[in-house]
């Protein structure tokens, strides 16, 4: 094969708002690139075949499985992980509600769960409990039984919805 094919590829992307350039193995998936190459260990590598959701991150505004996207495919993309989402304060209320409601125990699923829940609230400001459950159906939590997570999301939706009216 000619030089069109390569086992290592140069990529340039934005991660948590900052430009990143790197040379990655073509076989490297995005979550390993973020964790092992960039040291962003917030999102976790769990099952590594798309089932558990612990690796959920945001790419170009959409949540994706970090284990099912190759890092080379993120070339030119805008990637956000829990580190960036925490630093901007964009999901502070969701994180606070998770703590207040005991919506996490071991915390392994939590970064992916927060990414999925934040995505839901961004598109559906007042989801029903059934919709919340459906949206996090791809994120396994082995500690909480989900009930507290649904409580937390519901509470944040109610508070976000209430605050504009309260200000009137």
Nearer CB in complex with another protein: 101/135: 135
Minimal distance in Å, beta carbon 146 to another protein?
12
Q: In the window 102-141, what residues touch another protein (CB under 8 A)? A: 116, 119-120, 133-135, 137-139
What is the DSSP annotation of 50-92? SSS-TTEEEETTEEEETTSSBGGGGTT-EEE-HHHHHHHTTTH
- 57 and 21 Cβ atoms separated by less than 8 Å: no
Residue closer to another protein, measured from CB, 99 or 142 = 142
What size, in residues, is the chain? 168
Among 62, 165, 167, 168, binds another protein (CB under 8 A): 62
Q: Are 145 and 109 in contact (CB under 8 A)?
A: no
In angstroms, what is the minimal distance from the CB of 6 to another protein? 6
Q: Which is nearer to another protein, 140 or 143 (CB)?
A: 140
In the complex, the smallest distance separating the C-beta of residue 48 from another protein, rounded to whole angstroms, is 4
Q: Distance between CA 113 and CA 23 in Å, rounded?
A: 29
């Amino acid at each position: 094969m000619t030089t069109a094919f390569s086992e290592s590829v140069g990529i340039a992307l934005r991660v948590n708002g900052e430009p990143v350039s790197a040379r990655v193995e073509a076989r490297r998936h995005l979550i390993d690139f973020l964790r092992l190459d960039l040291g962003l260990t917030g999102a976790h590598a769990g099952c590594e075949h798309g089932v558990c959701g612990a690796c959920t991150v945001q790419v170009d505004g959409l949540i994706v499985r970090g284990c099912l996207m190759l890092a080379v495919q993120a070339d030119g993309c805008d990637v956000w992980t829990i580190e960036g989402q925490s630093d901007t304060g964009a999901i502070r209320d969701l994180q606070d509600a998770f703590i207040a409601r005991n919506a996490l125990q071991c915390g392994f699923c939590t970064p992916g769960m927060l990414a999925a829940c934040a995505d839901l609230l961004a598109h559906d400001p007042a989801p029903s409990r059934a919709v919340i459950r459906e949206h996090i159906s791809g994120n396994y939590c082995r500690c909480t039984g989900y009930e507290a997570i649904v409580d937390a999301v519901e509470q944040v939706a109610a508070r976000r919805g209430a605050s504009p009216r309260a200000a009137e």
